[in-house]
Structure 1
């Protein structure tokens, strides 16, 4: 997929229409699966964005602009999520997953990709989104009773919230399985178990692995 990554300079050019057309073309021609598009093209393209801290106030808008383009690409890919479900055999059928990011966590791309990954595997997906206070999350879990809760953390400072969140979730009956997603763990060398979670799910392969293991 490296050759396609270079082509995705469309992000840097603020070419929303071109980026959407390019991504859909790859899927339509069978040159990339949806997980490959997300993990090997979109995510690396975003990760190439460098905003030095000393110029953050002046240039952070570039990251926001390019993130918005990636969001548009993912939205356009939803029909492929629906059409490719059967390809994976629906191992997550009859299983509900709730995706959330904690309070003060505003990075949404990863959790949004996760939504499509779970949907692709046949899960019933509840997407709560970013900046969710703990009590709001607990109320949602009490009401919706998901089998899994995936908590996405990108800013490593937000990891400090996780022990209290996971403990509160584990105290519920029925008790959901709790997984940590996002890049914060890799940046700190911590494991999901350090925060009381059942594991880390940071890729499509990892999600598919725990899904098929429960069958």
Structure 2
């Protein structure tokens, strides 16, 4: 089954919540997810679309300038299928890593009777996320704020881009929730443990169930350590 779309039988009578999860920014994404569980998501009433976009940077190949005989680099917009094996493997590994993370969250939501879909795609993060939003037509969009708060970064952030292009749908973030920032359940140590277990899982090639148990254990016993 393709990692890009994994239909799990969405219940369209439920409120549709789209949650953007960046596998390259686990701390911010985990904060957003756990804040959403506490403040936004409703058991028995919501269906969550868990979205990850694998950023695919342009590849630059060296070419010779016939006029100056200098070495220049030009962007290559070749189709994914024509790229070399190393680049294909990078995309595949990133997709699998994101899939493992989102499967953990999906299992957690299931235990709260919140249904979910996992959607993993590749491309420019901002554009891909907007395209998915237009296709899914969620009732609420959840996006983490950028980790750095300079004006330039905020202006070009995924959050700002989605808000600009999805004006008819509430785009919510946990940026100003001071209560969540004080929440002991979301500690650096806890997230570090989750990241460590994910890396161990990817190296060993084990199935996702052990990680689900580990994450459940952190939810129940995390504050006791």
Q: TM-score range by the shorter chain?
A: 0.3 to 0.5
Higher strand share: 2
TM-score normalised to structure 1 length: 0.33
Higher helix share: 1
TM-score normalised to structure 2 length: 0.32
